[in-house]
Structures are given as C-alpha cells and as structure tokens.
Chains A and B, each alone.
Chain A
Amino acid sequence: MRSLILRTVAPLIVGLMVLFSIFVLLRGHNEPGGGFIGGLIAVAALSIYGIAFGVETVRRAIVFHPLAIAGAGLLLSTLSGLLSMVFHVPFMTGLWVYPVILGEEVPLSSVMTFDIGVYLVVVGAVTSVALSLEERGED
C-alpha cells in the first residue's frame, strides 16, 4: 500500500507502538500487561510498518529472521526456568534479586526474563507468519 499519509506517520506510530509494547511487557507483573499482550502489540506495529513500506524493509529493520527471534525467546524462557535448578529449587521457581541502581531499588527476576522470552516468541512467530503471507501477496 503506497499511501503517502501512512508512509509519513508510520515510523512515528510504529516507534511509539514498539515502545509501548515494551512498557506493557515490563509493567505486566503488577498492572495489566505482560509478554503475550506486549508481543501482540509489537506484531501489530511491525505489520503496520510492513503495510506502509513493504516486507523487505521490515526484514531489514528487525535484522534477525523472525523465527530466529522466536527461537531465542523460547531458549531464554527455558533457561529462565532451568536457572532454578542451579540453586537446588524445583524447575521454574521464580528467583528474585534487588540491586540498587542509581539510588533506586530495581527488582529483577527470572520470572521477568521468562516473560521477555514469551514476548520474543510471540513477536517472532506471529511476525514470521504475517510477513510471509504479505510477501506472497506482493508477488
């Protein structure tokens, strides 16, 4: 779709949406949100980008093959689960640390990395499907 209006506003919208998706992902533990929803928002953003500029542009923008992103996400989630084994607690037990960064206590956890993994799987998997369908539509 070669709409001038869309192509003008798309980068702005897409940037905001991706930022928002990460925001939703990270707030998920205490407020509505999480990896699934965040991932879906990011997919929507990438779809818009694809409609505006074509599939090739999107593929260049995300650098990695979407399935590689999904695979990395799955690996990250699995490793987050396995990490608990190192500390002799059952698989998938949440581990928390509270480092103080710039005077602010930042709670970090294996649960969070697990959720980031979920986010990456959703982004990668759905994007790969959407992009390949779009590609076929073009040729």
Chain B
Amino acid sequence: MDVAGLTFLALLLPFLGAIVAPLLTRILGHKAAWVLALVPVAIFLHFAGFSAELARGEVVTGGYVWVPSFNVSFSWLIDGLSLTFILLISGIGALIVLYSGGYLKGHPHQGRFFSFLLMFMGSMLGLVASDSFLMLFVFWELTSITSFLLIGFDHQREAARRAALQALVVTGGGGLFLLAGLIILWNISGITQFSLLSAFGPQVKASPFYLAALVLVLGGAFTKSAQFPFHFWLPNAMEAPTPVSAYLHSATMVKAGVYLLMRLYPVLGGTPAWQVILPVFGAATLVIGALLAVRQTDLKLMLAYTTVSSLGLLVLLTGFGVPYAIEAAALYLVAHSLFKGALFMIAGIIDHETGMRDVTRLGGLRSAMPLTFAIAMAAAISMGGLPPFFGFLAKEEVYTALSAFDMRSITFAALAVAGNALMFAVAFAVALKPFIGKRIETPQAPHEAPVLLWLGPAVLALAGLAAAFLSGPVHSLISSPMASAIAGEARTVSISLEPHLGVPLILSALTVAVGVGFYLWLTRLRAVIAAVIAAIGWGPDRGFDQAMRGLVRLSATVTRRLQNGRLDTYMTATFALLAIVLIAAPFLYGELARAPVFPQDIPLHELAIMAIAAIGLVAVVLAKDRLTAIVSLGIQGFSVAVIFLIYGAPDLAFTQFMIETLAVVILALVMTRLRLSPSDHRPFRETLPDAAIAAACGLGATLFLLKVTEGPFNTALSDFFNQYSKTIAHGANVVNVIIVDFRGTDTLGEIAVVMIAALAILSLVRLRAGSLRHIADNDPDAEEASR
C-alpha cells in the first residue's frame, strides 16, 4: 500500500477501532485499553514519519475525489500545524485510552465509552488533517456530536444531559457559522482547499465580503474554543467523565477553534479587524476565565476555567500580529496540552481514589499518594511557567512577543501578567494544596493510583520536562514547522532554557511574585469574586437557558397557531392559497387567457358526457347527506374517464375508472365511521366562505388551463418517447414504458410514498379517540408551572 493509502487507513483506523471496542471490552474487560491504545499509537507512528519531510519545509498532501461536480474532495494536508495537532491527538489519545481503562474499570458501559472516545479521536484527526473545506466542516460537526455523546455519557443525570445539549447547541451552532464563512471564502477565491487558498490572501482581504467571512469564521472558532461570551459550555462540560475532560475539553477539541484561526491566518489574518477583534476577545477571555477559575473550589471546574483562560491567551497571540506572537502561540499550545491534560488526569485520580474533588476539603494526601503528588507538581510547575519545564519556554516566548514599548503591548502585557498570575495560583491550588497540610478525612481512604491511571499524567509531565531540555530538536521538528505553517512563511523558534535577561524574564518574575500572592490569599480572593458574581446575578449560562426556553415557547406558540389540529382550518388555508395563486398570478403578470373560441362541431355523444359530468356536480352540491355526495362525485369522475378514453388515453382512462371506483368504496367505508345524517347543518352565511373559496379555485383552474392550452403544443417529449420506447426499452405502450423504465426511479419514489402513506393511514385508523394523547405535552409554560 502506498503512502496515500496508509494515510487514509490511519484516518479511518479510529472508526474501525470504535466498531470493535464494545466487543473487545466484553471479552477483555478494562484490559481492552491496552489493545485499543495501539490504534492511536499506530497513528502517531505513521504521522511522526512525516516529520523529517516537514522539517525540510515540505508539505504532504493527498486524497481522493469525492464530489467532482462540486470540486469537493476527501483530501488531507499535513504541514507543521496539522502534524503537531495530529501528534497531540494521537499521543495524548493513547494515554487517555489507557487512563480510561483504569478510570472506568468495571463500568457497565466501558465498551461504549471506548467506542465514543475513538470516534471522537477519528473526528478530531479528520478535522486537523482536512485540506478540503467541506471535509473540515463535516469533521468539525462530528467532533461536536461525539463530544455531545461523551459529555452525556452518564445520561441518567439531568445535569449531564443539559451540559451535553448545551455543548452541542453552542459548538454545533457555531459550526454552521463556520460553514457559511467557508462558503464565502470559496466564493471569493473559487478555491475549496486550504493548501491552495493561502495564495489568495490579498484577494480575500481586498474583497467586500472579507468582514462577513471573518465574522462568520470567528463565530465558529470562538464557540468551539470557548471564547467569552461563549465560554459557559466548557465548564458545564465537566459533567463528562474525567478522561473526556482531560482529552476533549483541555488538550484537543477546544483547540479546534484556535486551530482554525491558525489555519486561516495567512488568508484572513493581519488586517486591522483581525488585530483588534482577536486580541480583545482573547484578553477578555483570559482574564475572566482566570477570575472565574479562582472562584471555583471543584478541582475539575478550576482547571476548566483555566482552560478557558489559556484558550483566550492563544486567541490573543494568534491575533496580535507582532514578531514572536505566532511562535509563542505554537509553543504555548503544545505546552498547554501537555500540562493541562496531565493536571486533569491528576484531578481524576484524586477524585477516583478519595471520592472528593472539593479543594477546600482535601489535604495531606502526600503520604498516601506520593507518586501522584510528584506528577501533579511537575505539571503545575509547567503550568506556572517555571523552569525547567516546557511551560516556562512558552511563557517566555509569550512575554517576548508582548514586551514592546507601545501602549497596545503594555496594556495586553499587563492583562497577560494578571491572567497568568491567577492561573499560577490555581495551578498550585490544584496540584499542591490537596497534598500538603493537615490530613482531612475523605469519603474513601486514599491510596496510590494503579498504573493505568498514573501512566498518562506521568508521561505527559515527563514530556514537558524532556521537551524543555531537548528544545533544539523539538523546535526543529515541531515548533518551527508549526510556526512556519501558521505564518505562511519560514519562521524559526530558538528559545531555550539558557538564561536570557531582559523584559520577558522580568515579566515572568512579576507573574510568579503576583501568583504566589494570589495563592496565599486565595480564600479571600475567592470570597471577593463570589460576591461580585452574586452582585451581577446573571451570566451567559442562565442566558442560554432563557434563550432555549424562549425558543421552545416560540415554537409552541407557532405550532399552536399554525397546527391547531382542525382539518377544516388546513383545508381552508390550502385551498384559499391555491385560489389566490391561480387567480392573482395571471392578473399580476398579464398572463390572462384570451376568451376561448367555442368549438362549433362538438359531437352529440361528447356533449352528453359533459352534461352527465355537470349533472354529477350539481348533485354533489345539492346532496342531502355525505354518501350521496360521494357517489355523485363519482359520476363526474367516470365522465372524465370516458372523455380520456375518447381522446386516446386508454391508460389514463383505465386508471381513472379504477381510482373513481376505489375512491367511492373507500370514502363510503370512511363514512360508515361517521354519522350519515344530513351532513351540513350550518347556516348559509357560514357555508358561504367555503363556497366562495371552492368557486374561486374552480375559476382559477379554468383560467390556468385555458392559458396553458393557448400556446402551441411542444411535441419534443412525445416525439422522443414515441421514437425510442420500442427501440431502447422494448415496449410499445409508451405510458407504461415511461413509468417503469424511462422514469423508473420516480416510480420507485412514488411507490415508497404509497407505502408510507398506507402506514400513516393505518396508524390513524387504529388510533382510538380515547387514546389521543395531549399534544402539547412539552408545553414550556406548563413545565415551568409544575417546577
């Protein structure tokens, strides 16, 4: 198999793994994790093989044609940016699979969990590997859907269901903005592939639709990457089992928005709008996220809000537009995935081993869990930006980018220091506080975690350490190709652990000093923030609930108005509209039929048939009861069938005869279920509108038919069918040949409809009046009243 085939297989592999995961877990139990982890390991190894090529500045593309008529392909683009993401997704993915093996050991649905997790992995890999717009969108929404499944994994808790739905609505809805944005880019450039798009950067930026495209793309990126004010879904997503929080909601999925911004940086980036919107939203998210993190006492929620904060920093850097900003974003993204993934897994271990996640009720665990403590400290030091960890390098690079002496840089540097100091405090509140001090009793007696649990965070923490010491090879294989791919031009990252005095180091020291202060005053700070939030009293999370309730109420109102369940309303509306269209349209467009010339030589038998039809119709109107009316309608139908027969349409006449017969039979059967007493005892003034609508419909149809028959008859189709019916389709009856051969697919659709209609009618007939359910069961107002 060639490289393209292997790459395709690697992208497909997680989905194949998802299929076998439940069965494998049934056989092997939680040990299936060791087997399933081979899936991401294989992917990691396959793509790591490209790194040498990419370090030389090359790009790997490949793919297959998907919908050639729309220029849509299933194609991938492996450059420094996507490779870094792929290695993070598959590498951390392998550790998470192992971790889940220990974390959900003995859970009745562990197999299902593995399956969802692998499906997510496949979606996320597809997202970052996509070269084609549409492929990116499809995988983008797939990550939202798999995230929904994983957040709602514990589906018996209402909070989990709500969080799952919220995440789906916010990120999936954002995906629709993204789709619109991508379509605009497609229209501006005529290109559907990212690898070709960067050449169109100047053209896109000059387009009048640039701002629309930018705002729509940001709508997708900001919802996915939890930027303020769309940040609220991410903390709620902590309802998911901890492996999911560590994987989706810190290391990978939430970075998809940042990925998108980086991917489109050469096309959309660098404009004034870009350099204002991104840093402003990024900085707001950074500071608000960090403040809200301090407010929390739940380990997972604290980490979740710092993730929001870190995502804000990444967006800020991506949009800042100064030297080193892109490099800093690249470094910080990798560092964050390593330390935050590890810290989440640590939080999960503490929760798993003690049964408690509230930081104020944890303490003195160091003796019971020394290994966990060591790993936690390693991750927290990296998160705090202290040497000798990779987080330190990232933070130095961030401050290098922000250390210019103009108003803009100073403002954002101050915000970054504040945010980072708060995150520093939270990092040690999570990783240090539970382990030191006096021992506090927990629901379960704490003991060291099993290997499946500590392996993941240990590897990530060590990776953070190794990456800092081996910064040279790491930069040349990962950071520099990634920064170059984002910037669309060659960039070299060179920062290392060697001491380098200057403004960045001063800012770092300041961050640490303020951070230590925050850590010591954490309890008091928490109380202040809680008081402020209580004073505001409203947040986007409640706003979401209000919006959803409003939506349900609106749809309930619309449904009640439009679908009131009364057949006569539907019939009146349908036929009134039909009459308006048929009569108004010819007047408006001057297409009124000329008065027809009345033919002089109508044979006597045709006159007689028409007279019979007319008599039938008069009988319908005058009929005293419904049964008579139906039978009289049959008279008219049969007369029309006879006319068809005379004018040489035997098939049509034949069918009309049968339909008329059966219509009378079936309607008569329906009638037996109704009262057969004189049907209409409404007073004349109430029947008048119905009569008017009926007459108008008749008039409209007449006008329409007269106009249609006015023009010359186009014989192209009849000629074609007459000519080819025998030669191509071996049939002399043109009508039948059209039905079963020339337009057979239509017929297939029609008989499917007949079948579905029969099913629907059958269920309606079987529905007894007494069993009619209350239609407005989910009435939003009623629901509120019962709460």
Contact = CB atoms under 8 A, between A and B. Distances in A.
B517 interface: no
A37 B666 contact: no
A103 interface: no
Interface in B709-751: 729-733, 735-737, 739-741, 744-745, 747-748, 751
A121 B751 contact: yes
B669 A130 contact: yes
A20 B307 CA distance: 76
Given A28-B736, A47-B665, A111-B741, A118 B747 contact: yes
B714 to A, nearest CB: 24
B777 to A, nearest CB: 26
Complex A-B, nearest 7 residue pairs according to Cβ-Cβ distance, in ascending order: A125-B758, A40-B658, A137-B672, A32-B650, A133-B669, A30-B732, A29-B731
A108 B375 CA distance: 76
Interface string A37-77: 10011011001000000000000000000010011011001
Given A28-B736, A74-B751, A78-B748, A37 B669 contact: no
A130 B666 contact: yes
Interface string B147-179: 000000000000000000000000000000000
Nearest to A118: B751
A47 B665 CA distance: 8
A124 B740 contact: no
Interface in A6-40: 24, 28-37, 40
A69 B314 CA distance: 62
B662 interface: yes
B661 interface: yes
Contacts of B761: 129, 132
A57 B303 CA distance: 72
B418 to A, nearest CB: 64
A116 B761 CA distance: 23
11 contacts: A30-B732, A36-B655, A40-B659, A71-B755, A81-B748, A91-B745, A122-B754, A133-B666, A133-B672, A133-B673, A137-B669
A110 to B, nearest CB: 9
Contact of A107 (B730, B748, B754): B730
Interface string B751-772: 1101101110110011000000
B448 interface: no
Given A37-B655, A133-B666, A111 B661 contact: no
A33 B672 contact: no
> Which DSSP category, helix, strand, loop or mixed, fits chain B's interface?
helix
B298 interface: no
Given A94-B730, A130-B665, A34 B739 contact: yes
B740 A34 contact: yes
B736 to A, nearest CB: 4
Contacts, number: 141
Highest count of chain A CB atoms <10 Å: which of B662, B666, B747, B757:
B747
B581 interface: no
Contacts of B729: 94, 111
Interface of B: 650-651, 654-655, 658-659, 661-662, 665-666, 669-670, 672-673, 729-733, 735-737, 739-741, 744-745, 747-748, 751-752, 754-755, 757-759, 761-762, 765-766
Interface string A118-138: 100110111011101110110
B188 to A, nearest CB: 36
B651 A37 contact: yes
Contacts of B731: 29-30, 111
Given A70-B755, A125-B757, A34 B730 contact: no
B651 A125 contact: no
Given A36-B655, A129-B666, A30 B762 contact: no
Contacts of A29: 730-733, 736-737, 740
Nearest to B729: A94
Contacts of A115: 736, 739-740
A126 B758 CA distance: 7
Contacts of A122: 751, 754
Contacts of A111: 729, 731, 740-741, 744
B758 A70 contact: yes
A138 to B, nearest CB: 9
B655 A40 contact: yes
A133 B659 CA distance: 17
B673 A81 contact: no
A49 to B, nearest CB: 12
B733 A40 contact: no
B125 to A, nearest CB: 32
A94 B743 CA distance: 11
B71 to A, nearest CB: 23
Contacts of A134: 669
Contacts of B672: 133, 136-137
Nearest to B659: A40
A43 B665 CA distance: 11
B732 A36 contact: no
A44 B736 contact: no
A133 B765 contact: yes
A62 B751 CA distance: 20
A130 B754 CA distance: 14
B772 to A, nearest CB: 16
B670 A133 contact: yes
Nearest to B754: A125
A89 B745 CA distance: 15
A44 B658 contact: yes
A125 B754 CA distance: 7
Contacts of A37: 651, 654-655, 658
A35 B754 CA distance: 13
A111 B745 CA distance: 12
Contacts of B735: 32, 34
B722 to A, nearest CB: 14
B744 A81 contact: yes
Nearest to B743: A92
B309 to A, nearest CB: 55
A39 to B, nearest CB: 9
A47 B754 CA distance: 18
A77 to B, nearest CB: 6
Given A32-B651, A96-B730, 7 more contacts: A31-B733, A33-B736, A37-B651, A109-B730, A114-B744, A118-B747, A130-B665
Nearest to A120: B751
Highest count of chain B CB atoms <10 Å: which of A35, A44, A74, A125:
A125
Highest count of chain B CB atoms <10 Å: which of A36, A44, A118:
A36
Contacts of A70: 754-755, 758
Contacts of B651: 32-34, 37
A28 B733 contact: yes
Given A29-B733, A32-B654, A132 B665 contact: no
A24 B513 CA distance: 94
A33 B669 CA distance: 27
Contact of B765 (A34, A71, A132): A132
Contacts of B739: 34-36, 115, 118
Contact of A44 (B661, B741, B766): B661
A130 to B, nearest CB: 6
Contacts of A67: 755, 758-759, 762
Contacts of A118: 739-740, 747, 751
